Homo-oligomer: A and B are copies of this chain.
Amino acid sequence: MARPNKRTTLREVAEATGLSTAAVSYALRGKQVSKETEERVRKAAAELGYEADPIARALASGRTSMVGVLAGDLQDLWQQQLMAAIGRELLASDHYALILDAGGDPERELALAKQLRDQRVDALLVSPVNPSEEGWAAIADALPVVAVGDSLSRARTAGQVIFDNRAGIDAVLEYLHGLGHRRVTVLTPTRPSTPGRPADVYVREAAGRLGLWVELVPCPQELGEATAVARRVLDGDWSATAVFCFSDSLAYGVYGAAAEASLEVGRDVSVVGFDDHPVSRVLTPPLTTVDWGLAEIAVEAARLTVAAIEGKRVRRKRILCAPRMSERGSAVRV
């Protein structure tokens, strides 16, 4: 015995109005019927407390009004923030966000994408994709995929909101260079296994150009582990003068480790982040970081996604986010 709570069905409304179910269906979606019939139907529906069953509707129409949202790593506080914003935006457009966390694992990411596709979401909104994977083709084949992030995921996407990572990285390294730093440790959120990320490449290029010595250190986004890694970096014979973190979360780890080591950020160590999470502003010293405009990103991502669902051939729109340095107190002249 299933739940005995019967909702009123379309048929009941039809019977109540003496119309066919089809007529009612049309009427409720404002199609094909006379103004007065529509009125009559609406009234009856309201009286009976009718609410269309989304499941049945999905089965018949093929659309679920759900968007699969894939976060690269929800340990990253900024991504939590982004997901919250995206959820809000999608809801505002009458879509539900099914948020899944890949936990920084590219393979898991792809697996979850498949799961979401199988779950019949209308579209996929993917945060930082690992572009190496070509299993994505099979997915982009089945539904529109919108990418947000530095993702290279090309062609197949129905839209992209891209961070100009190269520009951001250049800006930060030039900034540090301008402050006199010559040796910089870069904390990247990547697992060691992931090869040749474009971001790494950009760092090396910029460093080469500026004559900077850089050291790339992979680091988990989880704050406890990030602190541990930072501790190891700062301890003993650390020969650099600045730490550039690929996410503000990682920078927080550096703050923690620095405090433990009695180093003062913004005096003994310079730190730069990469997201502009709200917390960065209230730290002491406030974190110098790169602002990508989270709010607009969420809005644009949601917009592109909804457009893609509605079949608007948006000529594969690409939105480019420019980096804005938020210069605060954590990086200083050396």
Taking Cβ atoms with an 8 Å cutoff, the residues of A that contact B are 2-3, 5, 51, 53-56, 58-59, 62, 64, 66, 74-75, 77, 80-81, 83-84, 87-88, 91, 96-101, 103, 118-120, 141-143, 222-224, 227, 252-253, 255-256, 259, 278-279, 281-284, 286
Which residues of B are found within 8 Å of A99, using beta-carbon distances? 87, 97, 99
A101 and B118 form a contact (CB under 8 A): no
Q: CA A224 – CA B280 in complex, angstroms? A: 11
Closest Cβ of chain B to A74, distance in Å, is: 4
Query: Contact between B77 and A279 (Cβ–Cβ < 8 Å)?
Result: yes
Partner of A259, one of B58, B59, B253, B282: B282
B84–A80 CB distance below 8 A: yes
A88 touches B62 (CB 8 A): no
Cα–Cα distance between A5 and B88 once the two chains are bound (Å): 30
A282 neighbours in B (Cβ, 8 Å): 223, 227, 252-253, 255-256, 259
| A-B pairs with beta carbons under 8 Å apart, 8 shown | A3-B142, A5-B141, A54-B118, A59-B59, A87-B100, A222-B278, A252-B279, A253-B282
Residue of B nearest to A84 (CB): B74
Q: Are A283 and B283 touching (Cβ within 8 A)? A: yes
CA distance A84 to B118 in the complex (A): 22
Within 8 Å CB of A84, what residues of B?
Answer: 74-75, 80, 101
